[in-house]
Every structure is written in structure tokens, then in C-alpha cells.
Amino acid sequence: MTEATPTEADIKATMAQVLRRIAPEADLNAVSPEENLRQALDLDSMDFLHFLVGLHEALDVDIPEADYGRLTTTARIVAYMQEATQERTAKE
């Protein structure tokens, strides 16, 4: 999984998988890519932290706290994860 840049579909699937553990009733498909994810899915700060930890583990991506503010919508999270995995691949 760490060799290639994950596709948008891969990342969305991972997001959905991680979310199922945190908010079983949350439906990622019902949220538009530009919608604020935390508000749409009613995630509190502990939920959101768990969500990021889940993504970090599944995608092997470092997410500094300073970047949390950028991770607001599905579209932005997908772009961030793709960028981060590309950077990591380039380093390797």
C-alpha cells in the first residue's frame, strides 16, 4: 500500500473504514466533497483526533497538528493525503 500514491477512491474508502469505527452511523457518501466533515458528521474533537489517528495508521502519513486546520473537507483531506504519500515516496 505504501508503494504507490493511493487514488482518490482508495483514500475515500479508507476514510469510510476509519469512520465506521468512530461514528458507525456516519455516511461519508452523504457528505459533499466541499462540506465541512466535522460539522456534517457531528464529530467532536476527540472523534476527529481518532479519525486522524486512523488515517495516519492506515495510510502511513504523518499529520502535524499545525495541518489539522487544513483537513476540513473530504476534498481537502484526499488532496492532503495524496500529497503526503507522494512526498514520502519521493523521499524513499
Residues that bind other proteins (CB under 8 A): 23-25, 38, 42, 44-46, 49, 52-53, 56, 62-66
Kindly tell me which of 38 and 76 has the beta carbon lying closer to other proteins: 38
* In the complex, minimum distance from the CB of residue 60 to other proteins, in angstroms, rounded to a whole number: 12
Beta-bridged to residue 36, according to DSSP, are 73
| CB of 14 vs other proteins, minimal distance in Å | 15
For residue 68, the surrounding DSSP H or E stretch is: none
Least distance in angstroms from the C-beta of 83 to other proteins: 17
CA distance readout (Å), 20 to 4, 8, 41, 67, 74:
25, 18, 11, 23, 15
- CB closer to other proteins, 4 vs 60: 60
Angle at the Cα of 48 (from 69 to 53), degrees rounded to 5? 95
